[in-house]
Chains A and B, each alone.
Chain A
Amino acid sequence: MSNAFNSPYFRQPASVRSVMLRVLVALLPGLAAYVWFFGAAILVQIALASLAALAGEAAILALRDKPVWLFVSDGSALVTAWLVALSFPSIAPWWMVVVATLIAIVVVKHLYGGLGQNPFNPAMAAFCIMIVAYPQLMSQWPAAGHQADFAAQWQLIFGGGPRVLDAVTMATALDTMRTALHTAGGTATVGAVFGSQPTFGAFGGKGWEWVALGYLLGGAWLIQQRIITWHIPVAFIAALGVTAGLFHFISPDRYAGALFHILSGGAMLGAFFIATDPVSGATTPKGKLIYAAGIAILAWIIRTFGAYPDGIAFATLLMNICAPLIDLHTQPPVFGHKNGGQP
């Protein structure tokens, strides 16, 4: 009689692939807003990153003597690719996102053991390497309102040669705010900076605030789908909001407010799609709160006092290192060991 496997003999129809595909679906609202405000360049980057990720993963799997199709088809490389593309400027030269994706997949993911083994978030590690190596190129973002100028964007991505930076590019709201507050000899105020530049929208970066809301929408769906729990996004947004809000309250001219921080840069992408990466993050309920709050506060510090325009990626890597320790010290009590067994 066949005795190939043991109980349980039936299982819920769940798979890594279905988890990963739903994460991709959840990115679509944010992606749609991105295209709407900033043009189709991001789709080119996503295509580049996806191809690089699949090719890179297939190659490294073959080298590692692992079943190529089983792992390439699990969708995890695509999620990494999309997150790399979405965190890069969509008008960056084509090779940047390709190199970054290969770093994420080959170095950060597979050299550490592949799916489920990487201590760092692959997309964020790749982002950090690229922003340290190419700070200039990583700071040239598309400007809202030029979405129709796809030819110019195409030229920037594939043109090569000296980059002609005209109206289609623009520094981000976070970058503009930081530069103005850091360089104006203490005379600039948050309010004045906010009103003076076309990069600002109603709360954060023009257009970007809508992309952020798109991520929020997709992230809420992920919670509803039970792919992620509420702990990380809520702790992330709350910690960022409280920290920014507190300093804004103390000195409104020197520190931008809570909504500005929450709706600018990578905050929403970070809260719902990056900090929630279970492989590199904390996993206990209490641990998730600490972990996410840690990323948010570190990101705020880097944004406010650091040299880089955004801090989500560095903050994520810093907290990635802490995740095992946080898990170790936040294990919930097991059955029969709560309240001495009494109800």
Chain B
Amino acid sequence: MESDLNIKYIAELSRLELSDEQSAKLQQEMERIVGYIDELKELNVDGVEPTAHAAPLSNVWREDEATASYSRQEMLENAPGVINDNLIKLPRVLPQEEA
């Protein structure tokens, strides 16, 4: 399990573009870090409940009431691209149909 760390595959899952040089460096660094965290495997954790969260809270409910939110205009000010002053402009999601 230690040796099959494939940085290019993980970068793909992470949606991170890496240069070949970066990949090589990260591959090396990550192998060392993963080697270090592997020390957890020596510990017997049978029957131990996992901790997801430190606060002793479970479901927190509120009334389902509509309240005013931020204005569309304000939120759009941070968008990289805007259409008609009220929509976020995105790159094409589906491939273009052939004519």
Q: Do A and B come from one complex?
A: no
Residues of chain A at the chain B interface (Cβ within 8 Å): none
Residues of chain B at the chain A interface (Cβ within 8 Å): none
